């Protein structure tokens, strides 16, 4: 019996592989169409995220039309022109050299929304923390993102868009929140590192600096000295700990050094 | 060469298996401790979510102390007493019969936070949609949730908690947002269906009702009539489309019927 059973080592490794090889993809898209059956698998994977009160607040708008993509690309250009003005000097030059979206190159654009009124006024579990319906929808995005990696499909999340204007372009009702605008397509390759890490925009924080033992501030430092060398023998991440530009930036905001690992108490 | 390569059919199936067998777990925890190495794998999986501007805004507070769990359980009881007052009659009786957390039974409690000031005032991509740092942190939660399933570890997200009070219990600074409070432990079994579906609280919405073609309202109905029978031959979900109580509830809020599938244009 498989359901409810253990994962084999190979199955477990495949799950970690999808997690560690998933990338926010803005380039390398190839024009090969995504078959309907594959798209249904991805959307069904998204739909099987957990949701507060089993609310399933998401909807999926699947966009292939070139004119719609062009209109969304124009929204990106507007928003990015404003955003890029925040960066000057060398950082500004670096910013303007980054490729931050693949709206027109990707065969499919996908808008994932959150219908905050779904399920009526009393959604189980949401009365205490109102944003949990948005959080559930993010979990659906991540399911899709990982399933796509396993299918060889790259996914890029375009966050530099005015969502109210986007809603008018694709007809999303005022009461519905746009959560994510994604670009999907088969790719010629997945990069070893996140683009922003490779470009030297920002470094990966050692995971040990982010783990607190029992209460905030009792920070755990991984004894092995490399918090990302986590499952050696299970998986190798070729790109960890370096960026192509060889730059280092501050990881966590200035916080005190951590304590030793005390996970064995 | 494996990295950047294709997933085998078996690998892809394993990823879908984790996605479809992941459950929000509140029962069936066994006292077996989670080894440090396994915990590090889970946290590193979370840490490898994508994040807006490569911000990596998350922190992880790992809780094993019984007194802390007891204090958090008290917060749950307070919040749930208020929440349950929203339900009367049969729905109220059903609500009060649900098990909604496993705080004290789970060997590990894990609080995942979002440091919204990390990376300074100009985080790439976040100036347009301010909540994207919270969204990134949710993606980290889902990575951990799926990795845990592959490890045989159940995860339950406790959303019925006053986060400001919780921050005082575990010392989270005022400027940091609590995103998720999770209960982790090995389990004797994973349920076939979400608890709320099995209890007849709410039904799974057919995925075809949630897919819109090109613009909102052009709803796609899966031609096969069962949008969740998505990857037959790849995976079988024994529990789909039924609940143990045999009840049906309205899925999507009263929306017009959809159009035929037009994914082939």
3 state SS for chain B: CCCCCCCCHHHHHHHHHHHHHCCECCCCECCCCCCHHHHHHHHHHHHCCCCHHHCCCEEEEEECCHHHHHHHHHHHHHHHHHHHCCCCHHHHHHHHHCCCCCCCCCCEEEEEEEECCCCCCCCCCCCCCCCHHHHHHHHHHHHHHHHHHHHCEEEEECCCCCHHHHHHHHCCCCCEEEEEEEEEEEECCCCCCCHHHHCCCCCCCCHHHHEEECCCCCEEECCCCCCCCCCCCCCCCCCCCCCCCCCCCCCCCCCCCCEECCCCC
pLDDT over 50 at A89, yes or no: yes
Q: Are strands A58-63 and B211-213 parallel, antiparallel or unpaired?
A: parallel
Residues 6+ apart with CB under 8 A from B69: B63, B103, B104, B109
- Please indicate if any CB of chain B lies within 8 Å of the CB of A25: no
pLDDT (0 to 100) of residue A243: 37
Give whole-number Cα distances, A81 to A87, A195, B23, in Å.
11, 20, 42
Contacts of A127 in chain B (CB under 8 A): 82-83, 86
- Closest B-chain CA to A67: B214
Q: What are phi and psi of B166, to 5 degrees?
A: -60, -40
Contacts of A4 in chain B (CB under 8 A): 21, 189-192
Q: Which of A208, A57, A61, A173 is nearest to B211 (CA)?
A: A61
Interface test with A, best of B124, B202, B240 (most A CBs within 10 A): B124
CA B205 – CA B219 distance, rounded (Å): 13
- Among A14, A47, A179, select the one facing B14 at the smallest CB separation: A14
Q: Is A36 close to B264, i.e. CB distance below 8 A?
A: yes
Contacts of B100 in chain A (CB under 8 A): 124-125
Asked if the structure places residue A250 within a domain, the reply is: no
Per-residue pLDDT tens digits for A18-73: 999 999 999 999 999 999 999 999 999 999 999 999 999 999 999 999 999 999 99
Contact A16/B45 with Cβ under 8 angstroms?
A: yes
- Please indicate if any CB of chain B lies within 8 Å of the CB of A4: yes
CA B192 – CA B189 distance, rounded (Å): 9
- Please indicate if any CB of chain A lies within 8 Å of the CB of B107: no
CA B172 – CA B96 distance, rounded (Å): 31
Q: Which residues pair with B61 in a beta bridge?
A: A212, B111
Contact A133/A123 with Cβ under 8 angstroms?
A: yes
- Please indicate if any CB of chain A lies within 8 Å of the CB of B71: no
pLDDT (0 to 100) of residue A254: 34
Asked if the structure places residue A96 within a domain, the reply is: yes
Q: Taking CB atoms and an 8 Å cut-off, how many pairs form between chains A and B?
A: 356
pLDDT (0 to 100) of residue B4: 54
pLDDT (0 to 100) of residue B113: 98
Q: What are phi and psi of A102, to 5 degrees?
A: -135, 40
Asked if the structure places residue A13 within a domain, the reply is: no
Q: Is B190 close to A4, i.e. CB distance below 8 A?
A: yes
* Side-chain half-sphere exposure of A41, counting CA atoms within 13 A: 25
Higher pLDDT, B57 or A128: B57
CA B145 – CA B106 distance, rounded (Å): 15
Residues 6+ apart with CB under 8 A from A23: A149, A154, A190, A191, A194, A195, B50
Residues 6+ apart with CB under 8 A from A88: none
Helix %, strand %, coil % of chain A (to 5): 35, 15, 50
Higher pLDDT, A182 or A239: A182
- Please indicate if any CB of chain A lies within 8 Å of the CB of B160: yes
- Please indicate if any CB of chain B lies within 8 Å of the CB of A101: no
Mean pLDDT across A190-210: 95
pLDDT (0 to 100) of residue A120: 84
- Please indicate if any CB of chain A lies within 8 Å of the CB of B7: yes
- Strand positions, DSSP E, chain A: 58-63, 108-115, 153-157, 176-186, 211-213, 219-221, 259-260
- Please indicate if any CB of chain B lies within 8 Å of the CB of A174: no
pLDDT over 70 at A265, yes or no: no
Q: ∠B143-B144-B149 over CA atoms, to 5°?
A: 100
Give the residue carrying structure tokens 């990338």.
A23
The CATH number linked to B114 is: 3.40.109.10
Q: Is A196 close to B124, i.e. CB distance below 8 A?
A: yes
Asked if the structure places residue A214 within a domain, the reply is: no
Residues 6+ apart with CB under 8 A from B135: A134, A138, A141, A179, A180, B52
Mean pLDDT across A122-144: 93
Output the tens digit of pLDDT for each of chain B's 265 residues: 344 589 999 999 999 999 999 999 999 999 999 999 999 999 999 999 999 999 999 999 999 999 999 999 999 999 999 999 999 999 999 999 999 999 999 999 999 999 999 988 888 888 889 999 999 999 999 999 999 999 999 999 999 999 999 999 999 999 999 999 999 999 999 999 999 999 999 999 999 999 999 999 999 875 444 444 443 333 333 333 333 443 333 335 433 333 332 322 2
Please tell me the distance in Å from B211's CA to the nearest CA on chain A: 5
Asked if the structure places residue A179 within a domain, the reply is: yes
pLDDT over 60 at A229, yes or no: no
Asked if the structure places residue B255 within a domain, the reply is: no
Domain that holds residue B67: 25-189
- Among B24, B127, B132, select the one facing A86 at the smallest CB separation: B127
Please tell me the distance in Å from B3's CA to the nearest CA on chain A: 7
Q: Are strands A108-115 and A219-221 parallel, antiparallel or unpaired?
A: unpaired
Asked if the structure places residue B88 within a domain, the reply is: yes
b/e per residue, B8-41, with b = 16+ CB within 10 A?
Answer: eeebbbbbbbbbbbbbbbbebbeeeebebebbbb
ipTM of this complex? 0.86
Q: Is A220 close to B62, i.e. CB distance below 8 A?
A: yes
Q: Is A19 close to B146, i.e. CB distance below 8 A?
A: yes
Q: Is A216 close to B59, i.e. CB distance below 8 A?
A: yes
- Among B50, B161, B201, select the one facing A54 at the smallest CB separation: B201
Higher pLDDT, A145 or A128: A145
Q: In the structure, what pLDDT confidence band is assigned to residue A4 with cuts at 50, 70 and 90? A: low
pLDDT over 50 at A150, yes or no: yes
- Please indicate if any CB of chain B lies within 8 Å of the CB of A165: no
CA A155 – CA A255 distance, rounded (Å): 34
- Strand positions, DSSP E, A3-150: 58-63, 108-115
* Side-chain half-sphere exposure of B162, counting CA atoms within 13 A: 14
Q: Which of B157, B151, B69 is nearest to B112 (CA)?
A: B157
Question: In this predicted structure, which of A224-233, A241-250, B37-46 has the lowest mean pLDDT?
Answer: A241-250
Structural domain count, chain B: 1
- Please indicate if any CB of chain A lies within 8 Å of the CB of B58: yes
Interface subset of A 177-196, CB within 8 angstroms of B: 179-180, 189-192, 194, 196
**The pair of three-digit structure tokens given for residue A59, joined into one six-digit string:** 């909807």
Q: Is residue A56 helix, strand or coil?
A: coil
Asked if the structure places residue A99 within a domain, the reply is: yes
Contacts of B98 in chain A (CB under 8 A): 124
Please tell me the distance in Å from B40's CA to the nearest CA on chain A: 6
pTM: 0.86
């Amino acid at each position: 019996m498989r359901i409810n059973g253990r994962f084999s080592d190979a199955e477990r490794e495949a799950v970690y592989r999808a997690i560690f090889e998933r990338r926010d993809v803005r380039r390398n898209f190839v024009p090969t169409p995504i078959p309907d059956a594959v798209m249904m698998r991805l959307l069904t994977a998204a739909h099987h995220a957990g949701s507060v009160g089993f609310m399933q607040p998401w909807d999926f708008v699947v966009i292939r039309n070139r004119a719609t993509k062009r209109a969304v690309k124009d929204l990106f250009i507007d928003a990015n022109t404003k955003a890029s003005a925040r960066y000057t000097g060398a950082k500004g030059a670096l910013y303007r050299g980054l490729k931050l979206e693949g709206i027109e190159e990707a065969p499919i654009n996908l808008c994932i929304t959150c219908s905050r009124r779904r399920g009526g006024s009393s959604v189980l579990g949401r009365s205490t923390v109102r944003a949990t319906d948005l959080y559930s929808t993010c979990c659906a995005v991540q399911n899709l993102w990982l399933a796509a990696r396993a299918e060889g499909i790259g996914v890029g999340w375009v966050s530099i868009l005015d969502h109210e204007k986007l809603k008018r372009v694709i007809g999303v009702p005022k009461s519905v929140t746009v959560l994510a605008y994604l670009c999907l397509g088969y790719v010629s390759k997945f990069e070893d590192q996140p683009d922003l890490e490779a470009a030297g925009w920002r470094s990966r924080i050692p995971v040990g600096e982010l783990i607190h033992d029992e209460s905030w501030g009792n920070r755990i430092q991984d004894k092995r000295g490399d918090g990302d060398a986590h499952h050696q023998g299970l998986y190798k991440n070729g790109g960890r700990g370096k960026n192509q530009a060889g730059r280092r930036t501050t990881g966590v905001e200035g916080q005190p050094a951590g304590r030793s690992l005390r996970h064995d108490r």
